[in-house]
Chains A and B, each alone.
Chain A
């Protein structure tokens, strides 16, 4: 009787898992080649042979676009979510653990870091266009600057970095501008590549994981076993690695499904508005945008809309159950 009740309570969880597994399988098994648009059957309604879910105004098969759109989700939203969590967790840990006075760097590192951040802000558009290569190039340039400065006496002098104030200021700054407007603004200046889009989404969505991580780290830092470990002579890095992160990491991890769901929504919205991925990259948002050209083609709203809704609901349900 008890087992029956439990299984009845678990069926939404099973459904959510099942749906997400289906989406992931579709993404993995999706054909990589694009079909030639069927120009003789543009805007064809569903349930007709050859195009069971209909076609869009460009003659693209909706079913194929849905499956290939799932792959885009997997290739864009998932890496973006991982990068978002890593960035947020990293910055939150730094702010919570070192506060405003404990992080002492050499001036060379401080100057190189500031130059890195400033350059990233000033050259955001070309960097986004070049994706990962641009990022690596910038990092290499900053490292070179740091190395050159470190060879001077001035560069080797210590300096306390107000990490907590900086991260908190950045969080306030980013949160004060609505996320969509912020992303649209950057994407409108320079259409990002797929890698650029991942970077752009990560750079704008890291604030919530960072806030969570900062709070969890502040709490963990006060525990007596951390103090004991510090007294025992463990370095800051060892403290973080062995005593703080094992406690704080699960707090951020439960945020993962929600972050994925947020980023799927954001990517779809950008594609719908025509500022996200290139038009030849299949995407659910792009499929949804077809309704603007053909307002009577209900299938362009229903199929991608339902797919998107179920995916986001499943992710949100799973994250709630975890918490």
Chain B
């Protein structure tokens, strides 16, 4: 009996010892590049990705037909062999013809074909799936025609004949039909007829199969044709991608930058707190930290141990900080109140305090760097509590003897002007903005409560419209100007978290991508910016500069002005000098 007991104890200890010694999924090797993320992707279903972390992963797992290239200031071929050819069809339609790269294959070795593109479009239009976001952005693709002689060639039938339509028509991840629909049940269903009752059962059966995969949490069940596969994901902690040992683009004689993938393994570590992330970088626990707070960045640049262990990069970005107003709230439903509140942000002082002066104020969501489209006749927002008070009076708010503001609302109710302002906890610049606004608002008699909130909870609150004001970053790019998901009535409940829409702005949002000449596009964009400057669904505080700090064990990091500020797949490890 004693021997059995001794054996059991020995077994338990051996088990514990082995489990302690065995490598965990987070174990890092010398080849792993560790990148800091401020937030978790939350959801990696290709139909639902809606935050920068999720987009970054999706672009490493999957390929689109085209990809935005900042250096060339346009979309360039990615999975497509070349830029698409276009041909107008009647007055309003455009035929956009693509041919896929012949080398492109899925993980099972089968080629990526036009029918995969057709399948992807059907998924994006399948009733029963969460397709609202894709419908808002890609709803203009009405049909796809497969080439009878070339299985890699196809033509998209698009509504609108502008260049923007052509670019956006190639900006969605291509999904593998062999994984999601191995029996090809959707193959016989024409894209425009997918929503018809006679195909309802087929679509519903497919939607059930798709939902059962739970891709939001198990993206590994959907292998893409990108260079990486997901090997581990602990939500809120880390996510690891491993480069495919044999990726189809390796066979290209001179792969373009879009098809280069150097790091054998990428590990993203979720560290919401900026200070903790800086400490992790200094201790060598992460290799790359993008969007570092300006003060920390400047301090590390001048600290002698960090100068030798880190490299520092900055670049202008298309990402901007905004104060969003929930226009569904009675107190914020009128434009004059929103305009008034905008005058309470001291933007020059905030730029100085949070960005060390390295940011650009803007009159709207288009960067002042894009001179062609930026409406420079609009005044930059200024700090003026007196102007704010005057606008509040115009909006029928009345100052009470106790200093607060009230007005008669609908059905003879009394509305009080008091606000909550929510933002991601752990981000010092957001807190500084919130504190400055609170202080200015309080001086004017408007009570403001600060709600620093954990990111995933904050995202849920934004989607549900459970906030008054919110501080967040929004990212744009210089090649496409489709504001549908952000500000159109079709985007409400998805990307349009402010709940804002007016018939005028809806019309402008629809017209901008259809503009066929740069002059017309500029005219519409300027008009749109003017409308936004009046309506103020959000106030743009400033366009940021990306600040990237990276370990010197990495080579020169390719930084860019597009989200996330660097090209992870093109980071190389520093070559060690060989000794003889």
Contacts and interface: CB of A to CB of B under 8 A. Distances in A.
B352 A36 contact: no
Interface string B415-431: 00000000001101001
Nearest to B425: A274
Contacts of A169: none
Contacts of B443: 36
B449 A293 contact: no
Contacts of A33: 442
B439 A37 contact: yes
B275 A292 contact: yes
B350 interface: yes
B149 interface: no
Contact of A39 (B274, B352, B442): B352
A112 to B, nearest CB: 35
A39 B353 contact: yes
Interface in B442-476: 442-443, 449-452
B407 to A, nearest CB: 25
B9 interface: no
Interface in B264-278: 274-275
Interface in A1-57: 33-37, 39-40, 42-43, 57
B295 interface: yes
Contacts of B349: 39-40
A101 interface: no
B432 interface: yes
Report whether over half of chain B's contact residues are helix, strand or loop; otherwise say mixed: helix
A274 B295 CA distance: 20
B295 A43 contact: yes
A59 interface: yes
B436 interface: yes
A274 B431 CA distance: 12
Contacts of B275: 292-293
Contact of B352 (A40, A278, A279, A280): A40
Nearest to A36: B439
B432 A58 contact: yes
A294 interface: yes
A106 to B, nearest CB: 44
A235 interface: no
A296 interface: yes
B12 to A, nearest CB: 24
Interface residues of A, number: 23
Given A59-B353, A279-B431, A279-B435, A39 B450 contact: no
Nearest to B449: A278
A36 B436 CA distance: 7
B439 A42 contact: no
B351 to A, nearest CB: 9
Contacts of A35: 439
A40 B346 CA distance: 11
Contacts of A293: 274-275, 293, 295-296, 428
A278 B434 CA distance: 12
B452 A39 contact: no
A39 B436 contact: yes
A37 B295 contact: no
Contacts of B274: 293
A280 B295 contact: no
Contacts of B449: 278, 280
A60 B434 CA distance: 13
Interface in B38-91: none
B353 A42 contact: yes
A58 B299 CA distance: 16
A181 B296 CA distance: 30
Given A274-B452, A278-B449, A279-B431, A34 B442 contact: yes
Contacts of A59: 353, 432
A30 B275 CA distance: 31
A280 B425 contact: no
Nearest to A275: B425
The residue in A39, A191, A274, A295 that gathers the most chain B C-beta atoms within 10 A of its C-beta is: A39
Given A279-B452, A294-B295, A37 B426 contact: no
Nearest to B303: A296
B353 A279 contact: no
Contacts of B239: none
A274 B352 contact: no
Given A36-B443, A274-B452, A280 B432 contact: no
B440 interface: yes
Contacts of A280: 435, 438, 449-450
Contact of A58 (B296, B426, B431): B431
Interface in A237-260: none
A267 B425 CA distance: 19
A57 B438 contact: no
A297 to B, nearest CB: 10
Contact of A278 (B296, B436, B450): B450
Interface string B279-303: 0000000000000010110010000
Nearest to B432: A58
Nearest to A278: B450
A279 B435 CA distance: 8
Given A278-B449, A278-B450, A280-B435, A57 B428 contact: yes
Contacts of A57: 295, 428, 432
Contacts of A39: 346, 349-350, 352-353, 432, 436
Interface in A255-286: 274, 278-280
A297 B440 CA distance: 26
Interface string A277-310: 0111000000000001111100000000000000
A296 to B, nearest CB: 7
A289 to B, nearest CB: 9
Contacts of A294: 295
Interface in B232-281: 274-275
A59 B431 CA distance: 11
Nearest to A60: B435
The 7 lowest CB-CB distance pairs between A and B, nearest first, are A39-B349, A39-B353, A36-B439, A292-B275, A42-B353, A58-B432, A280-B450
Given A39-B346, A293-B275, 12 more contacts: A36-B443, A37-B439, A57-B295, A57-B432, A58-B435, A60-B435, A278-B450, A278-B451, A293-B293, A293-B296, A293-B428, A294-B295
10 contacts: A34-B439, A34-B442, A35-B439, A37-B439, A39-B353, A57-B432, A58-B432, A279-B450, A280-B449, A292-B275
